[in-house]
Amino acid sequence: MTDLVTIRSGALTAAINPVGAELTHLRDADGRELMTNADPTFWTGHAPILFPVIGMTYEKAIRLDGTSYPMAKHGFARHSLFDTVAQSDASVTFALTDSAETRASYPFAFRLEITFTLRDATLHVEARIHNPATEPMPASFGFHPAFAWPLPYGQDRAAHRIVFDADEPDALRVIAADGTIAAGTRPSPLDGRTLTLRDDLFTNDALVWDHVRSDAVTYGAPQGPQLRIAFPDTPMLGIWTKPGAAYVCVEPWHGIADPEGFTGDFRDKPGVFDVPAGGDKRIAMQVTLLA
């Protein structure tokens, strides 16, 4: 078992698993857990890093310049062992570089760094995707944190809600039976800017906004401490749980599952960005405990 790396501020403690650079615990000053209990009845994940794809690829493969490469759901980063390359009491950076194994499914050289920093009541997470090559590198990236539902402050599970920072008038995308994105849409379940959480919203998998206008949401029960999740760099958002589970995932994405039946080049997939030759792409998320 890989030892977790722990960082601290006066208000929060975070523990991260070098396997996947996965945030595993986020606790308040009194030690109360803000993350999932990872009940294996439902899902054992905590906050996987999604790279170089988001969601399911059609026929579990990506296609580049006429060649097909096997690619698992959400990519390989979440199951990869990252190196710990910098660490202090309140910050840690993990890095993953390409290998023969990664190039078998994603034929690019890369360096993916994930930095976690605690400042007071905010956890800052920043991904830096570096492309050392002389040609642009296509990629997707996403965060997948699973927060406790209910939060540990004595409020009923049914009282929890997610409030968006901006109006979100668009319909949501539909996830097909194979995990790709179907052609149709589903009506938005928002009441104004508010999503009142209930299990039946997730009977058919995640809620998917493929053009989210907000760059932050606030999660919790109105009568208690809440979490503010900010995602200034990601144009898409998923919200997901399994009915009955003690977590809800708020997932900022720069990318999305393949459209149903998609056989085009990976570069043409919705949400894919180019990391410039010799350059970086940075994507950040912040989680703040509002006491």
- Check: CB of residue 114 under 8 Å from CB of residue 125: yes
The widest CA-to-CA distance across the chain, in whole angstroms, is: 55
C-alpha distances (whole Å) from 164 to each of 93, 176, 250 are: 30, 26, 11
As beta bridge partners, residue 87 has 92
What does the pLDDT read at residue 63?
A: 98
CA–CA dist 194, 265 (Å, integer): 37
pLDDT at 164: 98
Identify the CA nearest to 201 among candidates 166, 158, 236.
158
Between the alpha carbon of residue 238 and those of residues 8, 179, 210, 265, the distances in Å are: 28, 13, 9, 24
Q: What is the DSSP letter of 11?
A: S
pLDDT at res. 130? 98
Alpha carbon distance 117, 108 (integer Å):
28
Element (H, E) at 238: strand 236-240
The whole-angstrom separation of Cα 144 and Cα 168 is 21
Contacts of residue 4, defined as CB under 8 A and 6 or more positions apart, other chains included, come to 15, 16, 17, 24, 25
Q: How far apart are CA 257 and CA 20, in angstroms?
A: 20
Tens of pLDDT, residues 244-254: 999 999 999 99
**How many CB atoms neighbour CB 266 within 10 A?**
22
Number of domains in the chain: 1
Average pLDDT of the residues of the chain: 97
By 3-state DSSP, what share of the chain in percent is helix, strand and coil, each rounded to 5? 5, 45, 50
Sites in the chain below the pLDDT cut of 70:
1
Given a contact cutoff of 8 angstroms between Cβ atoms, the answer to whether 248 and 203 are in contact is no
State the pLDDT at residue 1. 61
Q: Dihedrals φ, ψ of 225, to 5°?
A: -55, 145
CA 281 to chain centre: 16
Measure Cα distances from 102 to 109, 128, 152, 207, 264 in Å: 9, 18, 39, 30, 21
Q: How many other C-beta atoms are found inside a 10 Å radius of the C-beta of residue 38? A: 16
- Local structure of residue 79 (DSSP, 8 states): G
Model pTM score? 0.97
Q: What is the CATH number of the domain that holds 285?
A: 2.70.98.10
Q: What is the extent of the structural domain holding 113?
A: 5-290
CA dihedral 275, 280, 281, 287 (to 10 degrees): 160
